[in-house]
Structure 1
Amino acid sequence: MASGFEHILHWRLLSGSHPFPGPDGGTCINEAAVVAAGLPYRSIRSSSDCPPCFSKPLAAYALGLNDAMPDDQRSRLMAFVLRLSGSADTAEIEEQRTRFLALESIRRILPPLLDRAGFADLAARCDEAQDLEAGLLAAQAAAWRGGTVAQAASQQRDWRRGALASAIARSAVAAVKSATDARSAAEIAEGASPFTEGVWDSAATILDEALTIGRQASDIDLVQAQERLDAARASAS
């Protein structure tokens, strides 16, 4: 995965959507990608706001990560700023991307969270899932067990175990939804991040790999992209 773009492009990513890029950047990843590609700036609150040339599931996952990542991690998404415009593909490819994001999030992000709670059997089921259907069944089981343990922990006033179990339930429910909603795949990482290490590394790698499925974004000259971003920042100031 490419790195260093946060320094080369001199742009700062922020959670949420913003009316216009501020002096330090101040946009989400998809808004930065729009500007870098030379397209008219637009406010993006969901993947449906992206230009038609953006892959909707990839944009949705990137936006979900953008809004969930802490400030000290979000800049790593700049590595993808030149890879979103022009990535739109056929309905079949977009479905394949959505299923990939869902399955790989179940395989890579849920197991460490489940292991942390002592749910080794469910962690193994997620890790070993050979297809999305098996992964979804494992996630459904994790959601049920997490909810059950969270309720019991609340009754026992075991707040630490309850918080972990609740995070498992939320992440697992998001995993089930991610089969048809790519942004929910990002919510798996969001739920797991307070309890396990390396979550954002895994999420960024999953996005990197998903971007290799189907049509690749058109080449955008790095110098040109920097000039466009600089011009947008200058016009805001």
Structure 2
Amino acid sequence: MAGFDHILNWRLLSGSHPFPGPDGGTCINEAALVAAGLPYRAIRSSDECPPCFSRPLAAYALGLNDAMPDGERHRLMAFVLRLSGSADTPAVEAERTAFLALESIRSLLPPLLERAGFAALTTRCPAAADLDEALAAARSAAWAGGARAQAASGQRAWVSGALAAAVSRTASAAIRAAEDPRCAAEIAEGVAPFAPGTWARAAVILDGALRIGRQAPDIDLFAARDRLDAARSAAHA
């Protein structure tokens, strides 16, 4: 959405913040609070979001927010108006959690596996028909990466060992993502140093998860901008 972050005139930063800074200076969920007209609060985890926020979506967005480099975090501004009011039934929230895990394994993990030379797993992950198949592939990747990292350590092959360790660590996060949506963001964090375009793909995954179930009510873009400007002014009056 061209110009979206410019219109809102807000800057996203990692971590939670008691008050917005002079250039914005909040995380994605804190900005979403103010844009929707809700009372401002520092948010350190998705559990601190209001009940109208989908917990899986807020957790994934917060994980990306804190892991993204400053030059990439602006991608999340397109979601500021889509979080408040997104909460849905437990079944829908479970579907969102599964989607985040499945799509992260399918689209984020393969470039890291390819870089590490795990050819069979590189094709197995995107071909997973469902979450069970994807998790099985992730378990295989975690085991294969750990075994290769251990062997590389014994051979003092530090570079290949570090890459294999990254595979094991990131695939392990993928396994946990089936229960914890924030771990899906850890997949992106683990892959990003080795695969250009990872953060853009992670934003696409967030967009897909937001399209499942209840959609946030329309919030006027310019009203949201005025609320954000007012919050910033009040904090520094």
The alignment's TM-score, normalised by the length of structure 2, stands at 0.98
What residue is the counterpart of 1:15 in the other structure?
14
**Any idea what SS the aligned residue of 2:18 has?**
coil
What residue is the counterpart of 1:208 in the other structure?
207
- Matches of 1:108 and 1:218, distance apart in 2: 29
Shift of 1:155: 2.0
Residues 210-235 of structure 1: per-residue CA shift (max 9 Å, x gap): 10000000110001100000011111
Residues 162-214 of structure 1: per-residue CA shift (max 9 Å, x gap): 12111111110000000011000000000000011110011000001110000
- Matches of 1:231 and 1:120, distance apart in 2: 53
**Any idea what SS the aligned residue of 1:81 has?**
helix
What residue is the counterpart of 2:37 in the other structure?
38
- Matches of 1:156 and 1:74, distance apart in 2: 39
Shift of 1:90: 0.3
What residue is the counterpart of 1:217 in the other structure?
216
1:3–1:76 CA contact under 8 A, matched in 2: no
**Any idea what SS the aligned residue of 1:127 has?**
coil
What residue is the counterpart of 1:189 in the other structure?
188
2:112–2:195 CA contact under 8 A, matched in 1: yes
- Matches of 1:192 and 1:40, distance apart in 2: 36
Backbone CA RMSD of aligned residues: 0.8
- Matches of 1:14 and 1:87, distance apart in 2: 22
- Matches of 1:144 and 1:172, distance apart in 2: 9
Superposed counterparts of 1:138-177, under 5 Å: 138-177=137-176
Residues 138-175 of structure 1: per-residue CA shift (max 9 Å, x gap): 00000011111111222222221112111111110000
- Matches of 2:121 and 2:147, distance apart in 1: 14
Q: Point out where structure 2 has 5 or more consecutive residues left out of the alignment.
A: none
**Any idea what SS the aligned residue of 1:121 has?**
helix
Superposed counterparts of 1:131-142, under 5 Å: 131-142=130-141
- Matches of 1:3 and 1:151, distance apart in 2: 47
Equivalent residues, number: 236
What residue is the counterpart of 1:93 in the other structure?
92
1:112–1:123 CA contact under 8 A, matched in 2: yes
What residue is the counterpart of 1:84 in the other structure?
83
- Matches of 1:234 and 1:154, distance apart in 2: 54
What residue is the counterpart of 2:113 in the other structure?
114
- Matches of 1:51 and 1:64, distance apart in 2: 17
Q: What percent of counterpart residues are identical?
A: 71
Shift of 1:3: 4.2
1:4–1:79 CA contact under 8 A, matched in 2: no
User: Runs (4+) of structure 1 moved beyond 4 Å?
Assistant: none
